Amino acid sequence: MTWHLGELPDQTGRTILVTGTSTGGLGHHTALELARRGARVVLAGRSDAKLAETESAIRADLGRADLGRLLVDLADLSSVRRAGDQLAEEQLHVLVNNAGVMATPYRRTGDGLELHLATNHFGPFLLTGLLLSRLVASGDGRVVTVSSQAHRTARRAPLGDPFVQEGRYHRWQVYGQSKLANLLFTFELQRRLDAAGLPVRAMAAHPGFAGTHLVVNGQLGRSTGPLASIMDAAVRVVSQSAADGALPTLMAATADLPGGTYCGPSRMGQWRGAPTVVDCAPLARDRAAQSRLWELSEETVGLSYP
Ligand SMILES: NC(=O)c1ccc[n+]([C@@H]2O[C@H](COP(=O)([O-])OP(=O)(O)OC[C@H]3O[C@@H](n4cnc5c(N)ncnc54)[C@H](OP(=O)(O)O)[C@@H]3O)[C@@H](O)[C@H]2O)c1
């Protein structure tokens, strides 16, 4: 059974934080549709100028929208802690961990972490932990984490010392591992929420292949300029639209589904099409890996939860 945008219920009274909302990406389209249905949407990203640009684009589309902004660099744990502090008293129903990087050159963050794992996993792990009390207080919270078909390319979970590069750096392999981590995280989070009896659902989604700036951001380190425009256009020819790519996330954020559900496109081996509940690689269901990654993440970011 597939889901469509017409099923997105009225979101009035709900506050939803979406990370990685730069214009034209999945986060932008996710935020747009949630705001269209009346949610208060907090746009979260590392550039105030980009947040302002998305805010203007959404207002231009909708006329009126209830929008907030949160500056957060997910690749910087102290920035994530500051963001958590800022929202400590705020209402929050849904956290959408959407921001991510793909296939970047080798880089260690200021915290000493590899860039993919820092941005795509450890930053979101910390942000989720810091905001969990807000989600619990809502009485009906959700965490939606955006993974990828690339999780299937990971040969093993990223369970080594995150501060040490073991062997040669393979950018696609590390991206795949970070997206596998998104699923390991989601399933372990759901198990821990259930054990603690907390009213929050951990969901995951993936967009198939969608025409965003992800490729140019990873390959060029920026999304503007003539080369970026040519590459963006080439990606759009072979992918579904960013708006369609956001649908699995919107389904996971709002449909009446049990915690631990993974949503993705229904056609062409999950690469495109209307969203539905999808399966994942067996490695993502490895309970020992889920549990070990959780412990490693707690040690790395210095926060234990739930
Ligand atoms: N597009 C696809 O086909 C596809 C397929 C599978 C999975 N995904 C996943 O979908 C998610 C969204 O990607 P997208 O396709 O929409 O790509 P995108 O257009 O490049 O958007 C990525 C967003 O993440 C933000 N971001 C990157 N590093 C950040 C950091 N350190 N702190 C805060 N924000 C940061 C970017 O902000 P800046 O603009 O400041 O860089 C941007 O807003 C990612 O998790 C990606 O892995 C996408």
**pTM for this one?**
0.98
Residue 136 lies in a domain: yes
Q: What is the CATH number of the domain that holds 97?
A: 3.40.50.720
Q: Closest by alpha carbon to 283, among 180, 204, 205, 192?
A: 180
Residue 305 lies in a domain: no
Task: Give yes or no for a contact between 217 and 101, defined as CB atoms under 8 angstroms apart.
Answer: yes
Atom of ligand 1 nearest to the CA of 214: 20
Task: Give yes or no for a contact between 149 and 270, defined as CB atoms under 8 angstroms apart.
Answer: yes
Return the pLDDT at 163.
Answer: 97
Question: Pocket residues for ligand 1 (CB within 6 Å)?
Answer: 19-22, 25-27, 45-47, 50, 72-75, 98-102, 119, 146, 148, 206-207, 209-210, 212-214, 217, 245
Return the pLDDT at 59.
Answer: 98
Residue 185 lies in a domain: yes
Residue 212 tokens, joined: 């965003």
pLDDT in tens, 261-280: 999 999 999 999 999 999 99
Q: What is the mean pLDDT of residues 183-194?
A: 98
Tell me which of 214, 232, 236, 278 to substitute to probe ligand 1's pocket, judged by most ligand atoms within 8 Å of the beta carbon.
Answer: 214
Residue 165 lies in a domain: yes
CA distance 249 to 25: 12
Q: Which of 106, 175, 262, 305 is catalytic?
A: 175
As for how many domains the chain has, the answer is 1
pLDDT in tens, 82-132: 999 999 999 999 999 999 999 999 999 999 999 999 999 999 999 999 999
Return the pLDDT at 234.
Answer: 87
Q: Closest by alpha carbon to 33, among 216, 195, 250?
A: 250
CA distance 48 to 182: 26
Domain with 34, as residue range(s), is: 5-300
CA distance 63 to 296: 45
For residue 175, what are the CA distances in angstroms to 86, 135, 152, 189? 30, 28, 11, 21
Known catalytic residue: 305? no
The DSSP code sequence of 39-103 is -EEEEEES-HHHHHHHHHHHHHHHSS-EEEEEE--TT-HHHHHHHHHHTTTS--SEEEE-----S
Residue 84 tokens, joined: 């958590």
Residue 306 lies in a domain: no
